[in-house]
Structure 1
């Protein structure tokens, strides 16, 4: 597959002429979902789920469909009958030739007094795992881990331990819109030295094969 990093937590995958996009939220480019055959959304927070971006993508391609959890699906299913699919932990499906497994149930804890929303991660082609906003360890080997490097709910020590637990062949940063460029070398060095897996950072628009 070809992986293209979009802003924040949005990533685009291409295989055999088909396109899959994960989390084209409000922090991603306005056109992040356009051209997608498959749309995946991990949870309802606006930096991952933007209703306008999803509607634009579904309207632009009448064959495109969305797979997501119920809290997001309920907001779009009436407008796109048969094209919005609700999934949860343990589900598997094939969409536009992409094999997808669903792992995880809850968003990471931000604060004990703040209710946790649901969150799912997607393992695509048994290779690339996008966890959304959780440090979910899938019950399957991971070749490429999309790594939430900085968020209100994590710290760098937890990110390092997450890479160690998943044991991917490589980790690539996502969830990075909150992190100032001046601080990036601190995170890069810590992950490279301690994570136990090769670590990469892609700028928005950069692509690599996975």
Structure 2
């Protein structure tokens, strides 16, 4: 499949003429979901779920559909009846020709005094995993990990240990929209040969709009 980063946590996957977009939120490119045949949303935070961008995608393609957890689906079902499917941990489905498994239930802890919301990650075609805002380990081999690089709920040691535990062949940075060039450089260095080590994983950071082929 072809993977294109669309800014922050959003990616666009293409295979056999079909397009699947994950997490077209407010920090990604405005047209990230336009042209999608299917959209997956991991949770309700605005940097992952921007209702206006989903509406633009569904209005541009009357056949496009959305798969997401209940907190997001409840916002959209009335406007797009029959086109929004609620999913949760353990569910499997096919979206735009991609085989998808849902993994995880809760967003990472931001602070003990803040209620945790739901979050589900998506394993696509048994090879590429987008965890949303959680460090969910899917419990099966992953070739390509979309790595949430930086967030108010994470620290570098957790990110490095997460890559070690999942042990993907390659990891591409997502969730990096709050970092400036200085911060991006620090993360790149620490996840590279100069850092503490992430096993055999090949780490890369794509710029918005950049594409790469994946297994």
**Shared fold (TM-score, shorter chain, > 0.5):** yes
Q: Name the counterpart of 1:199.
A: 203
Query: 1:1-51, CA deviations, whole angstroms, 9 ceiling, x for partnerless residues?
Result: 000011100000000000000000011111110000010000000000000
Residue 24 (structure 1) aligns with = 24
Post-superposition offset of 1:95: 1.4
How far 1:185 moved relative to its partner? 2.0
* Deviation, structure 1 residue 169: 0.4
Deviation at 1:178, TM superposition (A): 0.8
Between the aligned partners of 1:77 and 1:166, the Cα distance in structure 2 is 34
Q: Work out the CA distance in 1 between the residues paired with 2:178 and 2:60.
A: 30
Distance in 2 (CA, whole Å) between partners of 1:15 and 1:5 is: 15
Using the alignment, how far apart are the partners of 1:98 and 1:34 within structure 2?
A: 18
**4+ aligned runs moved over 2 Å, structure 1:** none
SS in 1 for 2:76: coil
Distance across 1 between alignment mates of 2:96 and 2:209: 23
For residue 191 of structure 2, give the secondary structure of its aligned residue in structure 1: helix
Shift of 1:191: 1.2
What corresponds to 1:181 in structure 2? 181
TM-score by length of 1: 0.99
Distance 2:8 2:64 in 1: 23
**What value does the CA root-mean-square deviation take over the aligned residues?**
0.7
Shift of the alpha carbon at 1:188? 1.0
Corresponding residue SS for 1:192? coil
CA distance in 1 between counterparts of 2:171 and 2:59 reads: 33
Which position in structure 2 is the counterpart of 1:64? 64
List runs of 5+ in structure 1 lacking aligned partners.
none
| Equivalences for residues 1-210 of structure 1 within 5 A | 1-193=1-193, 194-196=197-199, 197-210=201-214
How far apart are 1:209 and its partner, in Å? Answer: 0.3
